[in-house]
Structure formats: C-alpha cells, structure tokens
Chain A
C-alpha cells in the first residue's frame, strides 16, 4: 500500500507590506548645511534600515521619498523595497508647499493602492519652517483616511524657526516631534526615525476601544529618542 504525503493547500502567502515615507522640506531655507545634513544622514541610515528589515522577513519594508518646496513631487514614484532603495540627494530652493505634499500622500494612502492587510505606514516629516500653502485642509483629508489615522507620524523640527504647532497637528503627539537645532542633532534624530519601521513591523496586536477613530496610535518605544541636548557640537541654526 502506498501513502500519499499531503501538501499544504494553496493560496499565495506573503509578508505584510510596511510603507515608510521620508517627507522632506526642500524650501529655500533648507539650503546649505541643512539639506546636506539630511542627505548625508538618510544615506547613512539606509544600511541600518536594511539590516533591521533582514531581521524581520515577515514584514516587507517599502520606502518612498517625497519632497516639497514650490509644489511637491515624488522622488521615488513607486514603493521601493528597502533592499533596492538608494537615496538621491535633494537640493533646496523655493517656498514650502506642505499641503501639496499631504495631498500626494493622501493619494497613496487610499485603499487601493494601499492594501488593508498592510502594517501601519510610517511617515517621517523633516521641516524647518512655516508652510506657505493651505496645509490644514490637506492634512485633514490625510488624517481622515483610514490609513492616515493609523499611520505612525514622526516630525523632525529643524532649526529654531520650525513651526512646531503645525508639526504637532501632523504627529498628534508632542513626543514625536524631534527637535534638531544643529547638524549633529539632526543626524541623530534621522537615525532614530529610521528605526521606527522596525518597531512597527511586529505582528503583536493591541487593544482598541474605538476602532481607530482618534489620535495617532503610539506603540513605539519612545524611551530611546535621543536627547536634543546630548550632543550639541556645531552651530545652532
């Protein structure tokens, strides 16, 4: 008598996508040391993001860059697997059309193209100034999207003139506004922000009372956010 070894029933398996967005202010005030520090720090962070992604094969880390100044534009049009992601240096010039950037994000966080089985998306906004367009209504549209509400939003407040109240409207949590008053602090904050993806990629579930209506879900470890006063070498912006 022969016995047949049964094989697992079909159905294509897949890790869960985790969308990570770098949203970079490229207005004129970012010209010089600020934008070059951003370029350098994010380039430096990418290998660590790849390594962290390797440690969790059950999440597929997909990265995109969005820049805004006079208008907004995707630097990477489609989501790029972190393995294939490389940073294209950005230059600065123009005004601060943040609202336009929020509109582009809204288009991408709608279901579809987003999948309902994804992990919460991570958005890291880097900005040093006041938006020059109507960002409020665009932000409202973004945060009214199911994935907009569920996203983890971090802001890096660059220099002394950054609009922290606006950044708070974006993050929904003051602890997730990382102050960077000089180049060394900015580099450290970018490095920390790049690790948020690995914190979000765990499949552990969390209890919700409301089904997700309300403020941003904060389930990332904020204990190890670098202190802005720890390293203060270099000029303050």
Chain B
C-alpha cells in the first residue's frame, strides 16, 4: 500500500485579525512493518482558559500516531487480530492509552517549560491549559480504524459519494469534548471498517472550522466531493499546491476559525496513482 497524503493547517481569519496563532495541528506516521499509516488532526481550543492549546493539539496528533504504532507493533503481521482488537477495545483500551499518554506528555512539556515556576498547580488544571480535540485514523491494507474526541469530521469518499466515518451528536455552540477532560476517554468514539482497496477512495479528516464555514451540511458535502474529484483528476500533489490558499479563503468567507484538513488516498491498482 502506498498512501498519498496531503494536509494543511491555516490560521483562522478571525484569529489573524487579532494576531492569534493557529491552534490546530495535523500529522501522520507511516507504520512500515504493517504497511499502514496513522494520521490525525487536532483542534486546540484557543480560549483564554487554554493558552497552550497549540502545543496540546500538536501533542494530540503525535500521541495518536505513536500509540497506534505501538498497538500495530504488538500485533505485527496479524492484521485480522489487530482489526479485532481495535474493534473490541478501541473505545476502552486505546482511548484510555491515548488520554493517559497525552496527559503524561502535556505534564512533561509543562514541567520543562515552566522550569522552577509554579509547582502548586494540579495536573487537571495544567491539562486544561493545553485542551484539544482529536480526530485520528489508521489505514491498513484491509481495514481502517477511526477515533475521535470532540469536534471534527472524518469522511470517506468514493465515486458513489461521501459517507461520514464517525457520526456523533453535534454539541451546539462553541463547546466540545476535550482530551483535557477528566476521564476524557469516555467521550471517545471509535469505528472500524473493512476497506476495498481496489476501489478508488479518499479519507478526509478536518477540524470543525471547515464544516462550520459552509452554509449547510449539504454544502459541506458538496465541497468535500469537489476535493475528491479534484484529487482523482489532478492528483494530490497538484491539489496540495492550492490547499493552503483555499482553506484561508474558506475561513475568511466562512466561520473565521482555524482550519485543518488532511486527505489520504490509499487505494490499490491503477487508481492508486492519484498523482498521475
């Protein structure tokens, strides 16, 4: 499997107006020994209570990729058992591992940055300062595994249209579940599914600044499918050249929030070459 991945984070229009940096992060990790890739986007909350949420979102992405790699390594070469494990334990074992590791890394980072600073803060209140959502995906040759806490969208697109990978009740307004919450693993939603790698398809991960910029869910889907068709027609490298500007325009004319988008095309056969 040779995945083609492109992604971009752009600072929201409303954040640029007040000189605030982008709080989103994205990233991916190729897991060679099981021919897979882990990818994630994360949205740092950015509110006054979360002054370090940019760091928190970066840690969320790297934590997801590293934890997923660890579980893949434990099941090296046994794709079916990995699938079964993630399907059964995703919302408990994997979710707990991600919460624990994210908090451990946040506390280490905070301690390193604070030096001999305040020592009287509780761990919970430190973690809140780094609050972030997380939407992650593992793509193997035979199946995918998606995990999400908080806002964001993971979608699957093929020639028949768009299917949301994770359906969740939308929390109205500007509130979201967060990795920083107490027992945040309880708010994690996981989904696994079989892949037909012979059929061209693209996974798309996005932070909520993307969907919130469209007039309706239908317009969001129309845009996602537009990206899909463009990737199929022109290839990921060509789309990558424009992606940053398009997302900046989307934020300016939309909700003004930071936007991160990540596309993963990992189909097999002739159509595996979206860069053609």
Give chain A's interface residue range (CB within 8 Å of chain B): 35 or more
Interface residue A1 (Cβ < 8 Å from any Cβ of B): no
Q: Are A6's CB and B234's CB within 8 A?
A: yes
Given contacts A56-B14, A205-B175, A207-B128, contact A14 B230 (CB under 8 A): no
Instruction: Give min CB distance, B51 to chain A, whole Å.
Output: 11
Q: Are B212's CB and A203's CB within 8 A?
A: yes
Q: Mask for B221-247, Cβ within 8 A of A = 1, else 0?
A: 111111101100010001101100110
Bound-complex Cα distance A211 to B128 (A): 16
Enumerate chain B residues within 8 angstroms of A212, measured Cβ to Cβ.
171-173, 175
Interface residue A2 (Cβ < 8 Å from any Cβ of B): no
Which of A16, A204, A207 has the most CB atoms of chain B within a 10 A radius of its CB?
A207
Name the residue on B nearest A4 (C-beta).
B234
Enumerate chain B residues within 8 angstroms of A11, measured Cβ to Cβ.
214, 219-224, 226
Q: Mask for A118-149, Cβ within 8 A of B = 1, else 0?
A: 11100000000000000000000000001100
Name the residue on B nearest A55 (C-beta).
B17
Interface residue B253 (Cβ < 8 Å from any Cβ of A): yes
Enumerate chain A residues within 8 angstroms of B230, measured Cβ to Cβ.
6, 9
Tell which of B46, B171, B212, B249 touches A204, judged by Cβ atoms closer than 8 Å. B46
Instruction: Give min CB distance, B75 to chain A, whole Å.
Output: 33
Q: Are A14's CB and B215's CB within 8 A?
A: yes
Name the residue on A nearest B48 (C-beta).
A204
Enumerate chain B residues within 8 angstroms of A6, measured Cβ to Cβ.
230, 234, 238-239, 241-242
Q: Are A10's CB and B213's CB within 8 A?
A: no
Query: Secondary structure of the A side of the interface?
Result: loop
Q: List 24 A-B contacts (CB under 8 A).
A: A8-B249, A8-B250, A9-B230, A10-B222, A11-B223, A13-B219, A14-B219, A15-B253, A56-B17, A57-B256, A58-B251, A116-B170, A116-B172, A117-B211, A203-B174, A203-B212, A204-B174, A205-B47, A207-B49, A208-B171, A209-B181, A211-B169, A212-B171, A212-B172
Bound-complex Cα distance A119 to B263 (A): 28
Bound-complex Cα distance A129 to B146 (A): 54
Interface residue A217 (Cβ < 8 Å from any Cβ of B): yes
Q: Are A120's CB and B172's CB within 8 A?
A: yes
Name the residue on B nearest A151 (C-beta).
B173
**14 further A-B pairs in the complex, CB-CB below 8 A; given A14-B213, A146-B172:** A9-B226, A11-B224, A203-B12, A203-B14, A203-B209, A203-B212, A205-B45, A205-B47, A206-B45, A206-B49, A207-B128, A207-B180, A209-B181, A211-B171
Given contacts A116-B172, A204-B45, A206-B49, contact A15 B255 (CB under 8 A): yes
Q: Are A120's CB and B173's CB within 8 A?
A: yes
Instruction: Give min CB distance, A131 to chain B, whole Å.
Output: 27
Q: Mask for A12-24, Cβ within 8 A of B = 1, else 0?
A: 1111100000000
Tell which of A56, A59, A207 touches B175, judged by Cβ atoms closer than 8 Å. A207
Tell which of B151, B219, B245 touches A12, judged by Cβ atoms closer than 8 Å. B219
Q: Are A211's CB and B177's CB within 8 A?
A: yes
Interface residue B13 (Cβ < 8 Å from any Cβ of A): yes
Q: Mask for B120-134, Cβ within 8 A of A = 1, else 0?
A: 000000001001010
Q: Are B172's CB and A207's CB within 8 A?
A: no
Instruction: Give min CB distance, A11 to chain B, whole Å.
Output: 3
Enumerate chain B residues within 8 angstroms of A116, measured Cβ to Cβ.
170, 172
Q: Which of B173-221 contact A (CB under 8 A)?
A: 173-178, 180-182, 208-209, 211-216, 219-221
Name the residue on B nearest A208 (C-beta).
B175
Enumerate chain B residues within 8 angstroms of A160, measured Cβ to Cβ.
none
Which of B220, B251, B254 has the most CB atoms of chain A within a 10 A radius of its CB?
B254
Instruction: Give min CB distance, B17 to chain A, whole Å.
Output: 8
Q: Are A217's CB and B175's CB within 8 A?
A: yes
Interface residue B43 (Cβ < 8 Å from any Cβ of A): yes
Bound-complex Cα distance A117 to B173 (A): 7
Tell which of B13, B180, B219 touches A58, judged by Cβ atoms closer than 8 Å. B13
Bound-complex Cα distance A8 to B226 (A): 8
Q: Are A14's CB and B254's CB within 8 A?
A: yes
Interface residue B272 (Cβ < 8 Å from any Cβ of A): no
